[in-house]
């Protein structure tokens, strides 16, 4: 689908999506460039630097970047955690008072792939025995990537309600909100420009693409998710098994094809109304990816 046809379709159907804010970008790593497209129900947001809750894109932008920058600090157990094979449970309620003790209580043991917020948090605690995680990776980001605790007057999109109040400029993830610290599983906010510039910088200065190579049939590659079936993948039908990226619960995603050296970034506030019906989000994710990757 040509980009003109895609943008026309999005505009025509915009009121039927769960989200009311959508921005996406196509990255050309070969030419160190990107192009963005934005759609907002609120006309005030047009032309603004608009921050989205990146949700689980936080994982590769912290833990994946840590491995990219300093792989020598990762033990074999830490690599298992990085790639969601460390045997920790997927999720559970954590408390402000003892979340560290709870996460450290779980043994690390090699397992089949199980996507795990707890594993991501455990890896952060292991890294921080040597160095603060955010101290290590934040210099790799563009200035328009911020942790939610550092959000001040920035314009943010709403992502639902908590205790009957709009979630606006606060992290959507309940555990990250309760912990109220800079953690690895969720908490980063960013603009579309900030995410694109960060990825271009990561490739230019740290060889993100060439160092994120599939070396086994495991799903995760150095902290990044990968495509297992291009026919059904949210990275689109023209992705391949070397395509890597990540999804975020709020409606965000990154996909990078190392062969064409192209990338697609999507930021949305899919959870502003409710989260459980994602059919149209899945469709638009595929259509946006197909428009670029199938060129």
Stretch 217-222: mean pLDDT: 96
Q: What is the DSSP letter of 102?
A: H
pLDDT grade for 295, boundaries at 50, 70 and 90: confident
pLDDT at 101: 97
- Collapsed DSSP state (helix, strand, coil) of residue 263: strand
Stretch 61-66: mean pLDDT: 98
Q: Where are the alpha helices (DSSP H) in the chain?
A: 3-13, 58-59, 65-69, 76-82, 99-104, 117-127, 133-137, 174-179, 192-206, 208-211, 279-293
Stretch 116-125: mean pLDDT: 98
**From edge to edge, which strands make up the β-sheet containing 244-248?**
33-40, 21-28, 262-268, 252-257, 244-248, 225-226
pTM value is 0.96
pLDDT grade for 53, boundaries at 50, 70 and 90: very high
275 pLDDT higher than 80 = no
Question: Which residue has 């459980």 as its token pair?
Answer: 276
pLDDT at 267: 98
């Amino acid at each position: 689908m040509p980009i003109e046809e895609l943008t026309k379709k999005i505009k025509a159907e915009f009121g039927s999506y769960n989200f009311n804010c959508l921005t996406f970008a196509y990255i050309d790593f070969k030419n160190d460039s990107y192009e963005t497209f934005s759609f907002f129900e609120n006309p005030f947001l047009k032309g603004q630097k608009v921050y989205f809750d990146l949700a689980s894109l936080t994982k590769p932008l912290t833990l994946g970047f840590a491995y990219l920058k300093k792989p020598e600090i990762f033990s074999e157990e830490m690599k298992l955690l990085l790639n969601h094979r460390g045997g920790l449970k997927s999720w559970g309620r954590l408390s402000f008072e003892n979340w560290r003790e709870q996460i450290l209580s779980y043994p690390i043991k090699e397992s089949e792939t199980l996507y795990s917020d707890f594993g991501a948090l455990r890896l952060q605690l292991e890294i921080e025995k040597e160095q603060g995680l955010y101290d290590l990776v934040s210099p790799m980001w563009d200035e328009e990537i911020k942790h939610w605790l550092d959000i001040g007057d920035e314009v943010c999109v709403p992502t639902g309600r908590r205790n009957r109040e709009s979630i606006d400029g606060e992290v959507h993830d309940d555990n990250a909100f309760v912990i109220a610290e800079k953690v690895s599983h969720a908490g980063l906010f960013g603009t579309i420009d900030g995410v694109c510039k960060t990825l271009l910088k990561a490739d230019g200065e740290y060889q993100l693409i060439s160092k994120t190579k599939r070396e086994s049939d495991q799903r995760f590659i150095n902290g990044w998710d990968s495509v297992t079936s291009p026919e059904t993948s949210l990275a689109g039908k023209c992705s391949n098994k070397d395509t890597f990226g990540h999804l975020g619960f709020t409606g965000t995603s990154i996909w990078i094809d190392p062969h064409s050296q192209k990338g697609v970034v999507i930021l949305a506030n899919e959870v502003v109304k409710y989260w459980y019906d994602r059919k149209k989000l899945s469709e638009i994710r595929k259509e946006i990816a197909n428009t670029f990757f199938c060129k």
